[in-house]
A and B are shown apart, each in its own frame.
Chain A
Amino acid sequence: MSEPAGLTVDIAARLGGFQLRARFQVGRELIVLFGHSGSGKSLTLRAIAGLLRPDAGCISLGGQPLFDAARGIDLPPQRRGAGLVVQQHALFPHLSVRDNAGFALSGLPAAERRARVSRLLEVLGIAGLAERRPDQLSGGQAQRVALARALAPRPRLLLLDEPFSALDSAIRVGLRRELARMQRELDLTTVFVTHDLREAYHLADRVAVFDRGQVLQTGTRDEVFDRPNSARVAELTEVRNIWRGQVVADRGGTAVDLGALTLRATTALPVGAVVDVCIRPERVLLLRPDRPGTETPRDTVVLARIVDEIAHGAVYTLFFRIERSNAAGHDVEVDVPAHPYEVMGVRHRRDWALAFPREAVHVMAGE
């Protein structure tokens, strides 16, 4: 269970009516705690930082316990070696950028402190702001200072609580790239809390999906996003095409009967099992219906009609109703990049064939 270089969290806490049960493990990499606000991910981060005391369980870093309810261990935040960055930056308003960044280094000789702070400010591209006060900084600059302040004492663990959520999207993307770079260079264990799926995709080595105080699934980014372990995780990670069905035999393989459509899919679950099946909107393929030979033994192809669409700029979301379906609204969402959308003339054609590649169709045990 314990991995010497990483962080292990296994805690339970009750706060008012809220029950938190967080459990995950991560090495020297970045784990994203993903979930809606109020799902317990920030509380978990505070517990790791030592700002919130769980009722039970343990937290250990590099094999050393930070918290262990059974053994009565509860290191104060000062001794956990965890750098923290929060959404509202929480810089000390009475101190300059330089003094904020060097706040943890007061024990060092002045010359060394100065050198270390200057280097950090340089790395983060804010060397020119050293003498400014926090109220003279933009949101993005303030967050860079907050990051410098957290990294200055060379923490063993970096904790980030929605650090970029209050920023404009262009600045957000830039800071994300920088964080990813620094994370690789510093070789730190990093815990990143966010409710932004794109941010999670960009940064995560691993993901823990939080919902109502519980961790529903942990794993590598691709495990969690491509192979959710339940319909709820699929829903939270915005898979958008999730159906309930039953496993049936199909030409020596398996498929899932959804009523209007039978999807060929690989599953170890027995024939007759009730399952949830999902496919990401960008994994569904759009084919010309008049082209012969589109039907393959591997994948499912069905005729469908566009009933609605939304343009996002780089991507179009198309809402399809399957030919034999009697659903009131749409059955399938498909994301098509702008270029194929134009080239294939989707604007002028409403009837299409949809292909569901077998490897993209993911089957989950129904509850």
Chain B
Amino acid sequence: MNGLPAGVRPRLDLMHALLLPGALFALFVAAPLGALLWRAAAGGDLLASVQKPLVRDALRLSLATSLLTLVVVVALGTPLAYVLARARFPGKRLLDTLIDLPIVLPPVVAGVALLMAFGRRGVFGGLLRGLGIELAFTTTAVIIAQVFVSAPFYIRAAKVGFQSVDVTLEQMAYTLGVSRVRTFFRVTLPLARPAVLGGVVLCWARALSEFGATMMFAGNFSGVTQTMPLAVMSAMESDLFAALALAVILLAASFVVLLLFRIAGGRGE
């Protein structure tokens, strides 16, 4: 057909040409995941592996700590996100940047920093010991490490969500006699819900996959601080199949997280 405007066919050709590197990259991502699944399936009974103490303990600890992390982050991060979205105050940009910093900070550095602050010899270590509190290398330390690295993902998303809600709607609620707190729960939060839920999902995923900071600040003690990513590393030395089982569970969790994120964002395809 010569009726097509000039330029249309060459562009289609370009699309075809771009498919090749695209396909290569897709293969690059899919191949290791496929290999992991194949080896895990070939190795034997996955369910039996989950029964192993190492796997079971890590699974339980990861679930407990990441969910507790989520509770802490949502409880403390939501008011902060709202203040950042609505209020104007000196030093706001600095605070904004500070909160985002853990996103780009290497987790190992975060772990060292936590150790320097709350470790036995840390800046606040003496004070904590005086109060009879020992943090480093405990389950609490796992949660602290997870909160530190995962909170920015939630706070950032929630802030953007709250910003997207028209202030006029809140003001309308005030003139209707509804308190600020109730307005938040009846107007702001429902309207920001997709963004906030997206933040929850990302935050949980980040907490679940946390490795470096936990390793540094909480150590790798089975049943106490050995979460799934740490257990994968330990198992690689002794029981490859247990490591594979854990890896498959984490992979499945990641996939579910992504699905939830899509649903929460309402833009799933």
- A residues sitting closer than 8 Å to B (CB atoms) are 49-51, 76-84, 86, 88, 90, 92-94, 103-104, 106, 149-150, 152-153
Could you tell me which residues of chain B, from 184 to 205, have a CB within 8 Å of some CB in chain A? 186-187, 190-191
B179: chain A residues at CB < 8 Å are: 78
**A103 and B176 contacting across the interface, CB-CB below 8 Å:** yes
Residues in chain B near residue A88, CB distance under 8 A: 168
Q: Would you call B178 and A78 a contact (CB within 8 A)?
A: yes
B238 CB within 8 Å of chain A: no
* CB contact between A90 and one of B169, B178, B186 (< 8 Å): that residue: B169
In contact, B176 and A149 (Cβ under 8 angstroms): yes
Chain B residues lying within 8 Å of A149, measured Cβ to Cβ, are 172, 176
> Are A103 and B191 in contact (CB-based, < 8 A)?
no
B175 and A94 form a contact (CB under 8 A): no
- CB-based nearest B residue for A99: B186
- In the docked arrangement, what's the CA distance between A81 and B177, Å? 7
The closest CB in chain B to the CB of A149 belongs to B176
Q: A78-B178, A83-B176, A93-B191 are in contact. List 8 more A-B contacts (CB 8 A).
A: A49-B175, A81-B177, A90-B169, A92-B187, A103-B176, A150-B175, A152-B176, A153-B176
Chain B nearest CB from A212 CB (Å) reads 25
User: Which residues from chain A contact B190 at a C-beta distance below 8 Å?
Assistant: 94
From DSSP, what is the main secondary structure of chain B's interface residues?
Answer: helix
Contact (Cβ within 8 A) A90 B172: yes
B187 CB to nearest A CB, Å: 6
14 A-B contact pairs sorted by A residue (CB < 8 Å): A49-B175, A50-B174, A50-B175, A77-B175, A78-B175, A79-B177, A83-B175, A83-B176, A84-B175, A90-B166, A92-B169, A92-B187, A149-B172, A149-B176
Contacts of B187 in A (CB 8 A): 92
Interface assignment of B264: CB less than 8 Å from any CB of chain A: no
Nearest CB in chain A to that of B193: its residue: A94
Would you give the shortest CB distance from B186 to chain A, in whole angstroms? 8
* A104 engages B176 (CB within 8 Å): yes
B173 part of interface (Cβ distance < 8 Å)? yes
Q: How many residues of B contact A (CB 8 A)?
A: 17
* A248-B191 Cα distance, complex, nearest whole Å: 68
Complex CA gap A106/B169 in Å reads 17
A-B contact count (CB 8 A): 56
Instruction: Please measure, in the bound complex, the distance between the C-alpha atom of A152 and the C-alpha atom of B179, giving whole angstroms.
Output: 17
Whether the pair B177, A153 counts as a contact (CB closer than 8 A) is: yes
In Å, the complex CA distance between A77 and B179 comes to 9
Which residue in chain B gives the minimum CB-CB distance to A94? B190
CB distance from B180 to the nearest CB of A (A): 8
Residue of B nearest to A83 (CB): B175
A49 to B174, CA, bound (A): 9
Q: Are B178 and A94 in contact (CB under 8 A)?
A: no
Q: Which residues of B, 152-187, contact A by the 8 Å Cβ criterion?
A: 166, 168-169, 171-179, 182, 186-187
Instruction: From A49, A83, A103, give the contact of B178 (CB < 8 A).
Output: A103
Interface residues of B (CB under 8 A from A): 166, 168-169, 171-179, 182, 186-187, 190-191
* With A90-B168, A93-B191: A51-B175 Cβ-Cβ less than 8 Å: yes
Contact of B174 among A77, A86, A92, A152 (CB under 8 A): A77
- Does A84 lie within 8 Å of B191, measured CB to CB? no
State the 3 A-B residue pairs at the shortest beta-carbon distance, nearest first. A104-B176, A77-B174, A84-B175
Contact residues in A for B178 (Cβ distance below 8 Å): 78, 103-104, 106
The reply to whether B191 and A94 form a contact with Cβ atoms under 8 Å apart is yes
CB of A61, distance to nearest CB on chain B (Å): 14
Residue in B closest to A159 when the chains form the complex, CB atoms: B175
What's the minimum C-beta distance from A87 to chain B, rounded to whole angstroms?
A: 10
Contacting pair B174 A51 (CB below 8 A): yes
Q: Which residues of B contact A92 (CB under 8 A)?
A: 169, 172-173, 187, 191
List of A residues within 8 angstroms of B175 by Cβ: 49-51, 77-78, 80, 82-84, 150
Instruction: Determine the chain A residues whose CB is within 8 A of the CB of B171 once the complex forms.
Output: 49, 51, 77
Q: Which residues of A contact B177 (CB under 8 A)?
A: 78-79, 81, 104, 153
Chain B residue nearest in CB terms to A46: B171
A153 to B174 CA separation, bound complex (whole angstroms)? 12
B174 cross-chain contacts in A, Cβ below 8 A? 50-51, 76-78
Given the complex, which residues of B lie within 8 Å of A86, measured CB to CB? Answer: 168, 172
Contact of A84 among B172, B182, B186 (CB under 8 A): B172
- A49 and B168 CA atoms in complex are apart in Å by 12
| Alpha-carbon distance A92/B173, docked complex (angstroms) | 9
Give bound CA distance, A93 to B174, whole Å.
16
Residues from chain B with Cβ under 8 Å of A104 in the complex:
176-178
Write out the residue numbers on chain A whose beta carbons fall within 8 Å of the beta carbon of B172. 84, 86, 90, 92, 149
Expressed in whole angstroms, the minimum distance between the Cβ of A47 and any Cβ of chain B is 13
A96 to chain B, nearest CB (A): 13
Q: How far is the CB of A64 from chain B (nearest CB, A)?
A: 16
In the bound complex, what is the Cα–Cα distance between A103 and B209 (angstroms)? 43
Q: Which residues of B contact A83 (CB under 8 A)?
A: 175-176
Cα–Cα, bound, A90→B171 (Å): 10
Minimum CB–CB distance for A82 against chain B, Å: 6
| Bound Cα distance A49, B177 (Å) | 11
